[in-house]
A and B are shown apart, each in its own frame.
Chain A
């Protein structure tokens, strides 16, 4: 399809396990964002890439969270030693725009992580 694709859609992890969430942005989109959405809340910014460069990671809640986009397309969000408070929907979004411009973000359907 032509939209942002995320996998897995659902992930259940035991506390302490590591998880990896994948995002396939819209082809040709320069910018890629990760957001965390807790139940009943608005999305909260985690990190931002322009091509392969991670320009802003100020929203990552701890050093257990790590994101990469090595070839400037697919991105992976990794959470190490998961905790119950990490349970949320992780949304990926892409945009054709570069930094220093604003515009529409195209979101995927998210990966719902449940930590037991």
Chain B
């Protein structure tokens, strides 16, 4: 049962461009939506997170847009850099399950110089 669906599977962007990754969820009980970044051979690391009481959160070049009615959220990376090349995972969790995360399938981002 895939509760969090992520697209695209891979993404190639030119340096300076905007990278957009989308996720959709099914469980309306989810109340915390983080994005994790993973480099090869490393564990995932938290990038940015949002709760459903806001529609957008921005931290530097990274922005989460959240649409509660559509049960969708997305990550926007502005001014993409080669150092942003990594795999990005959206995730979701609900308070009643603590910090247990349900992850999407991942998006492999390549930013060309």
Q: Does A82 contact B (CB under 8 A)?
A: no
Q: Does A110 contact B (CB under 8 A)?
A: yes
Chain B, interface size category, equals: 20 to 34
Q: Does A64 contact B (CB under 8 A)?
A: no
Q: Is the interface of A mostly helix, strand, loop or mixed?
A: loop
**Given contacts A107-B44, A110-B43, is CB(A42)–CB(B99) below 8 Å?**
no
Q: How far apart are A22's CB and chain B's nearest CB, in angstroms?
A: 15
Give the residue of A31, A44, A91, A103 whose beta carbon is less than 8 angstroms from that of B43. A91
Nearest chain-A residue to B49 (Cβ)? A104
CA distance A48 to B97 in the complex (A): 10
Nearest chain-B residue to A100 (Cβ)? B95
Nearest chain-A residue to B105 (Cβ)? A42
B-contact 0/1 string along A73-116, CB 8 Å cutoff: 00000000000000000010101011111111101111000000
Residues facing A in B68-106 (CB within 8 A) are 89, 91, 93-106
Among A42, A108, A110, the most chain B Cβ lie within 10 Å of the Cβ of A42
Q: How far apart are A55's CB and chain B's nearest CB, in angstroms?
A: 8
Q: List 6 A-B contacts (CB under 8 A).
A: A4-B43, A33-B100, A42-B6, A45-B100, A99-B98, A107-B44
Taking beta carbons and an 8 Å cutoff, which residues of B are in contact with A? 6, 31-32, 34, 41-46, 49, 89, 91, 93-106
| 10 tightest Cβ-Cβ pairs between the two chains A and B | A107-B43, A42-B103, A102-B32, A99-B98, A104-B46, A95-B99, A107-B44, A42-B106, A102-B93, A42-B89
